[in-house]
Amino acid sequence: MRDLTPPSFDATQARSDILGAEFLGDGTNFALFSDHATRVELCLFDETGQEELHRLPLPEMEGGVWFGYLPDILPGQVYGYRVHGPYEPENGHRFNPNKLLLDPYARELRGEIIWDDALHGYTIGEDDLSFDTRDSAPFMPKGVVVDSRFDWDTERALRTPWTDTVIYEAHVKGMTQAHPDVPEDLRGTFRGLVTEPIISHLQKIGVTTVELLPIHAFANDRYLVEKDLSNYWGYSTLSFFAPHAPYLKTGQIREVKEAIRRFHKAGIEVILDVVFNHTCEGSELGQTLSFRGIDNASYYLLADDKRHSFDTTGTGNTLNVAHPMVLRMVMDSLRYWVQVMHVDGFRFDLASTLGREATGFERDGAFFNAIRQDPVLSGIKLIAEPWDIGDGGYQVGGYRWPFREWNDKFRDDTRAFWRRDAGLLGAMAERLAGSPVQFDHSHRPSTSSVNFVAAHDGFTLWDTVSYADKHNDANGEDGRDGHDHNLSDNLGAEGPSDDAGIDTARIRRVRAMLATVFLSQGVPMILAGDELGNSQDGNNNAYCQDNPISWLDWDAARPEIRDAVAALAAFRTDSGLAHTRFSGKEGGPAVEWLHPRGDHMADDDWADPELRLTGMRLQPAFGPAILIIVNAGDDGEFALPDGEWTLRIDTARDQVACDEAVSGVLPLGWQSVAALTCAE
């Protein structure tokens, strides 16, 4: 018979300094921040999360932290909260104890969201000033107490230098779901992600760092479910500590640790794409799942009238990281994933939102300064997506060291240059040199720019050379979603083509664009599948497509592209190009821009709208000189400088990697990149 005697709190062991449900060896400390609550109830459930066994008011509160220690509450205990306080939407308060709330610090979840009107704090069909009395617990996931101990085998962080880093942006499920050599029962999970076929592939193409799309628990949004779609990308965070349960074969967080340990043993770092700018609760008309019911006025930015959310993200709400306890939650999450889960860094979605202060974006805002001074976080890899949709949100080049930034100027100029748009030779030169206008300031290194030509948001690289227009019909929005600024070119046929000439041209251009990524100053990043020639059928906004549209099609892989990526990554390392650290400043490595006739580029040459061929000669501090030639035009020739040159890379050849002594005039194939080294 189940013992329904309610457990008793032990005031002598209760701690307000540890937020969340922390197992301390013989019991669990529960602590939740809510500055405006009048009472907080801890709800304990059976192991299934379906039956609420006890409802216990947390006995103590200090500084807005409600807390209590329960002896004999062990890992595996399922729990949630009900928070009492004023229901005054016009003042920003939306407390409703009828709604079970997920602990923001929950490390593991049991169950999933079952969309029902009871999840709203107000009554659906009425305005948001109304009050709904239905219990939401049957439709809510719950937190689970965990034991964080794990045998890391005395593992040490890899700390791959930025100069050696090659980033691979991937999706946990999409990477393996259609891989024929990954066991079916492991596909789509962390265990599948670290199987031998995946690890071997990453090592072969020179990947040092896997950047995973959001793995924090996220909501499968109701409006998508009702359209038989799903939140595939995961940019709709429910919990900043718990991993997304469908990615776990057993549902236990140790699977994430096991995967990270396996990646590290293979010499591959793990970066997480994190979404601290908003949550899945939407606007004031959204659901009450966690933060809104715990303390809406503290956790979210509100409009001047307090009733409405202040939205700079396009998702309905904005997390209030300027609040010290919300900032602490974010910092605690980051440190948890580094110290307990052993991840190597983070990519911050819509990072400009995190720097929004009362006067707008502030590069020295509380969030950025907190990270820069933190002894744990300041030494890991930190990447900003340097924009949001708010006023003044576009901030490429506006961040301080140690942050690196996604460089969409590199993406756009590279796509346009290889599309043969006129007058872009100067812009391409800037991108090859590390975008100094954007990043050569404030003592920032040349690795500040993360260079890419495709990412999860937009066309894949193969679709960039296969479609002139987006084809998003499967998203159910009549083609209104997704941007139209694709800078793409179908090279003669919209979509798949049986024309051998078109296929050859597409492969040639893709290899040239990938070469541009690997041979430019900065940090190269490729989208998972671009090395395979992966297509999304022209869908440039596949956020809701958890199906073959988004999953990598390994059976259709193009070895001509994969082998080119492997060769480019090897050359980047072997030649010393990755370590040139060109900044253009006195004392840095010398750089010369050469005209195909053999002399230096003059002002008139840069102004020539039809010139699509130039060479960048670098002389690193150590090692041979390097000459990189880009030719976005037709077949051409390039007069080589004096010296004993060796052709190492030629993307116009069947085998991109070369080892051929050359001198005089070098023939260049159309739409190609060549890289040479000099023995002098």
Give dist(CA 379, CA 92) in Å, integer: 38
Instruction: State the pLDDT at residue 420.
Output: 96
* CATH number given to 167-283+315-424+445-501+529-568: 3.20.20.80
Please report the DSSP string for 158-210 in residue order. ----GGG--EEEE-HHHHHTT-TTS-GGGTTSHHHHTSHHHHHHHHHTT--EE
Question: Pick the residue with more confidence: 223 or 554?
Answer: 554
The catalytic residue among 349, 463, 531, 546 is: 349
- Over residues 153-159, mean pLDDT: 79
- Over residues 495-510, mean pLDDT: 97
Cα 120 to Cα 116, 130, 316, distances in angstroms: 8, 10, 15
587 pLDDT more than 70 = no
Instruction: State the pLDDT at residue 588.
Output: 47
Instruction: State the pLDDT at residue 2.
Output: 58
**Contact at 8 Å (CB) between 326 and 290?**
no
Selection from 423, 418, 439, 394 nearest residue 509 by Cα? 418
Pair of tokens at residue 542:
């596949």
Instruction: State the pLDDT at residue 375.
Output: 94
10 CB burial (10 A radius; 0-12, 13-18, 19+): middle
344 pLDDT more than 60 = yes
357 pLDDT more than 90 = no
559 pLDDT more than 60 = yes
680 pLDDT more than 70 = no
508 — pLDDT class (breaks 50, 70, 90): very high
209 pLDDT more than 60 = yes
Nearby residues of 111 by Cβ (< 8 Å), 6 or more positions away: 49, 50, 140, 141, 142
Residue pLDDT, tens place only, 444-472: 888 999 999 999 999 999 999 999 999 99
Q: Is 349 a catalytic residue?
A: yes
Helix, strand, coil in percent for the chain, rounding step 5:
25, 20, 55
392 — pLDDT class (breaks 50, 70, 90): confident
Out of 276-285, 388-397, 509-518, pick the least confident.
388-397
576 — pLDDT class (breaks 50, 70, 90): confident
The catalytic residue among 385, 405, 489, 537 is: 385
Instruction: State the pLDDT at residue 363.
Output: 87
664 CB burial (10 A radius; 0-12, 13-18, 19+): exposed
Instruction: State the pLDDT at residue 579.
Output: 74
Domain ranges for the chain, please list them.
167-283+315-424+445-501+529-568
Q: Is 62 a catalytic residue?
A: no
Out of 397-401, 495-499, 587-591, pick the least confident.
587-591
Instruction: State the pLDDT at residue 568.
Output: 98
Selection from 636, 599, 631 nearest residue 612 by Cα? 631
Residue pLDDT, tens place only, 216-235: 999 999 989 999 999 999 99
148 — pLDDT class (breaks 50, 70, 90): confident
258 pLDDT more than 70 = yes
27 pLDDT more than 70 = yes
Question: Pick the residue with more confidence: 440 or 632?
Answer: 632
What average pLDDT does the structure give for the chain? 94
552 pLDDT more than 50 = yes
Percent pLDDT > 70 in the chain is: 98
**Contact at 8 Å (CB) between 312 and 353?**
yes
Residue pLDDT, tens place only, 61-91: 999 999 999 999 999 999 999 999 999 999 9
